[in-house]
């Protein structure tokens, strides 16, 4: 949820929809002491994605910062990624292991791109995957729905809603 994805070069009005839901989910996770980990696009000019998407979310630029509405909290972890998957060369896997995490809740943009590649890597590494469908989105409705379907069918992701997840966390 870097500024370039929501308000900048890769902006899409659909991204707005998820912000309030993500905000509530983040607050609940922090309240319940669940680790919150941001893995944000932080590109170098030599990254392969530049040829496909043009420069976006470039390291050191304001546009690569997480949007103000979802700013990382003091106890949250922040990692940088340079391609679609949040796991690829980011140190996320050892961090999750250190935190004794067995389930990941994937949120953010986009359902059929970064979320999908992140889910693939989570699946390969044996993590259970939960995706609140109102906390992820894609550039079009079709891509979003197909993305959700793929996550469910191929990686066994549990597709839920942020409200349901919060209810489940609060009841424990």
Residues that bind Zn ion (CB under 5 A): 41, 49
Give the Cα separation of 84 and 117 in Å (integer): 6
**Minimal CB distance to Zn ion: which residue?**
41
Please, which residue, 41 or 137, has the CB nearer to Zn ion?
A: 41
Please, which residue, 41 or 63, has the CB nearer to Zn ion?
A: 41
- 3-class state of residue 41 by DSSP: strand
**Burial class (CB within 10 angstroms; exposed 0-12, middle 13-18, buried 19+) of 44:** exposed
Please, which residue, 43 or 144, has the CB nearer to Zn ion?
A: 43
Give the Cα separation of 115 and 112 in Å (integer): 6
What's the closest the beta carbon of residue 156 comes to Zn ion, in angstroms? 26
What's the closest the beta carbon of residue 90 comes to Zn ion, in angstroms? 13
What's the closest the beta carbon of residue 82 comes to Zn ion, in angstroms? 8
What's the closest the beta carbon of residue 81 comes to Zn ion, in angstroms? 8
Please, which residue, 9 or 152, has the CB nearer to Zn ion?
A: 9
What's the closest the beta carbon of residue 41 comes to Zn ion, in angstroms? 4
Whether 26 contacts 18, CB under 8 Å: no
Instruction: Kindly write down the DSSP assignment for every residue of 94-153, as one continuous string.
Output: HHHHHTT--EEE--EE-TTTHHHHHHHHHHHTT-EEEEEGGGEE-SSHHHHHHHHHHHHH
Please, which residue, 50 or 101, has the CB nearer to Zn ion?
A: 50
57: left (phi over 0), alpha (psi -120 to 50) or beta: left
């Amino acid at each position: 949820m870097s500024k370039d994805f929501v308000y900048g070069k890769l902006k899409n009005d659909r991204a707005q929809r998820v912000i309030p839901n993500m905000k509530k989910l983040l607050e609940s996770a922090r309240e319940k002491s669940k680790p919150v980990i941001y893995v944000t696009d932080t590109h170098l000019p030599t990254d392969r994605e530049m040829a496909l998407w043009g420069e976006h979310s470039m390291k050191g630029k304001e546009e690569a910062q997480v949007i103000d509405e979802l700013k990382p909290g003091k106890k949250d972890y922040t990692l940088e990624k340079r391609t679609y998957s949040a796991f690829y060369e980011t140190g996320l896997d050892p961090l999750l292991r250190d935190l004794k995490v067995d389930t990941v809740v994937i949120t953010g943009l986009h359902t059929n791109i970064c979320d999908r590649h992140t889910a693939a890597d989570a699946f390969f590494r044996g993590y259970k995957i939960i995706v609140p469908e109102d906390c992820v989105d894609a550039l079009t409705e079709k891509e979003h729905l197909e993305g959700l379907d793929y996550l469910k069918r191929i990686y066994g992701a549990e597709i839920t809603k942020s409200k349901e997840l919060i209810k489940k966390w609060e009841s424990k």
